[in-house]
Structure 1
Amino acid sequence: MNDHDYYRAFLHAVWHDRSADPLVASLLAQPAFAVYRNTIFKGCVDALAANYPAVQRLVGAQWFQGAALAYARRNMPQDASLIAYGDGFAAFLSGLEEASELPYLAGVAALDRCWTEAHLAADDAALDAAALHAALAAGQDVRLVPHAAARWRWEPAHPAYSIWSANREAVETPDELAWRAEGALLTRPVGEVRWQGIGPGACRFLDACGDGAGVAASAALALEAEPGLDVAAMLGALLQAGAFTSFH
């Protein structure tokens, strides 16, 4: 067995508690290996708790730890650093039977993930708003490039943003929360992740910009998603939030 095969067999044993390889199987039989496995899974669970604080606050530490351990047992980290671990946790929660009574939980988890991605994203310069205004005034149909740290999400069935924001800030969720669709934008304009609610038009505009569409086509799609939208005001709010890095 070469080193690559050994390490693959070793990792398989860690995650599945069994091995067909005699050498690795002999390690499994040692009591210290169980301690080693538990330490690894605890690290994964702790990383998920750090990356999904709003989810943990919603469901409680005990419930969260059970769900996080179940996820960890099915999802081996792809990087030695666990700072970004858990990219599939929202999808995992959406299929978890125990979470069926919390239909908004996956949406909350997705926003926790957006925060992590915004926090870890590469640095980008802020868009030159004056240059953009000049280009638009000259009739140019420019293409806006979203900032590397910008993340946005539209939840069509639940007020996931309001629930997430309250739990992210560790405040009580409003008792009379309107049960409606919501959108969210997360940006990192000055080194700190910030978030705000946005409408369906803004989300569709950002989607289109991310797909490489020009401002005119993106605005048309935004109006289709949200008739009556003040596109100029929406664009101004997105620029102020730091959603874009450049245009061409």
Structure 2
Amino acid sequence: MAPSASGFQDAFIRALFGDSHDIGREMAAVARQPGFAVYRNGVRKHAIDALQANYPAVARVVGEEWFRAAAAIYVRGSPPSSPMLVEYGASFPRFLETFEPAADIAYVADVARLDRMWTEAHIGTDDDLLDPAQVASLAPQTLSQAVLRPHACARWAWFETAPIYSIWAASREHAGNPADIDWRGEGALIVRPRDRVEWAPIDAGVCAFLDRCAEGANAGLAVQAALAANPDTDLRQLMWGLLSAGAISRIERPDENERTI
């Protein structure tokens, strides 16, 4: 029986990326052709190139040779599923977590997470920007009951044990490795408020605040979370920093009309 179109496509992809198991006699014969080998090598290289483009900070931290060797292994196990290669490699940070040669540089998986957050901010859906004047016009009690919605292109993370943001930003900005880095936890905010992706360091309090906002909690509860994570959180600076960064898209307050500002 001739293979179905989807079955043929699956076998073709497996053959391209080095999995010869259960590809069928017809595809095995195709895969043995010299022309197929040339095509296969080109496709693999293209996927590795895309992964390197999507994870530039990782490539600079570990070096190009190390990166491409690791990427070749990843590509064979997780080939692209879409022609949109800018989206490729979502699982690469998890791959690095268990990649034995990376055991001595375990922080590189978190550097990869920031590279991925940059990509998600870059390709994310455009969103509105909240005018700081709208927040300033609200009474404190009203603001505490309102819900602040993070921008659709905002991504953030807190890294408890390592200065991931400093390592990532230095690599991303071609600044080399920071010579006097303070080895402590750091957070990162990556957002595309308009046409370009921007990033900034944030502390545990800001991360906790954004986490609660993303869950739909009101600003009062988000503030409680921020203070629990970092009792020294400056709430005015927190709010101003997020608004000026474009990390908040809108505010929803519970009034008689359930109106969205």
Q: Is TM more than 0.5 here?
A: yes
**Separation in structure 1 between the aligned mates of residue 135 and residue 82 of structure 2, nearest angstrom:** 39
Q: 1:20 to 1:117 in 2, by over 3 A?
A: closer
Kindly provide the amino acid, as one letter, of the partner of residue 192 in structure 1: R
Q: Counterpart in 1 of 2:12?
A: 10
Correspondence 1:129-208 to 2 at 5 A = 129-137=132-140, 139-140=142-143, 141-208=145-212
The C-alpha deviation readout for 1:201-237, integer Å capped at 9, x for no partner, is 0000001111111100010000000012111221111
Check if 1:238 corresponds to 2:239.
no
State how far apart, in whole Å, the 1-side matches of 2:47 and 2:125 are.
24
- Aligned mates of 2:243, 2:131 — CA distance in 1: 9
Q: Which stretch shifts more, 161-170 or 26-35?
A: 26-35
Letter in 1 for 2:86: I
1:20-35 to 2 correspondence within 5 Å?
20-35=23-38
Q: For 1:108-152, what per-residue CA distance to the aligned partner results, in whole angstroms no more than 9, with x for missing partners? A: 111111111111111111112222222344624111111111010
Q: Which residue of 1 aligns with 2:44?
A: 41
After TM superposition, the structure 1 stretch with the greater mean CA deviation from structure 2, 149-158 or 129-138, is 129-138
Count of aligned positions:
248
Could you list the per-position Cα deviations for residues 81-108 of structure 1 after superposition, in whole angstroms to 9, with x for gaps in the alignment? 2011111111111111111111211111
Shift of 1:29: 1.4
- Provide structure 2 residue ranges, at least 5 long, that are not aligned to the other structure: 253-261
The residue type paired with residue 232 of structure 1 is R
For the residues of structure 1 that align with 2:176 and 2:31, how far apart are their CA atoms? 46
Question: Offset at 1:157?
Answer: 0.8
Three-state SS of the structure 1 residue aligned to 2:126 is coil
Question: TM-score under structure 1 normalisation?
Answer: 0.96
Q: Unaligned stretches of 5+ in structure 1?
A: none
CA contact (8 A) 1:186 1:195 kept: yes
Partners of 2:158 and 2:241 in 1: CA distance: 17
2:216 is the alignment partner of 1:212: yes
Quick one: structure 1 residues 2 and 232, their matched pair in 2 at CA, closer, same or farther if it must change by over 3 Å? Answer: same
Percent identity, aligned pairs only, is 42
Correspondence 1:118-137 to 2 at 5 A: 118-137=121-140
8 Å Cα contact 2:96-2:108 kept in structure 1: yes
Q: Which residue of 1 aligns with 2:258?
A: none
CA contact (8 A) 1:136 1:142 kept: no
Q: In structure 2, how many angstroms separate the alpha carbons of the residues matched to 1:154 and 1:138? A: 29
- Structure 2 contact 14–23 (Cα < 8 Å) conserved: no
Work out whether residues 144 and 244 of structure 1, in 8 Å CA contact, stay in contact via their aligned partners in 2: yes
- Take 2:222 and 2:140, find their aligned partners in 1: how far apart are those partners? 17
Instruction: State the match for 1:226 in structure 2.
Output: 230
CA contact (8 A) 1:17 1:28 kept: no
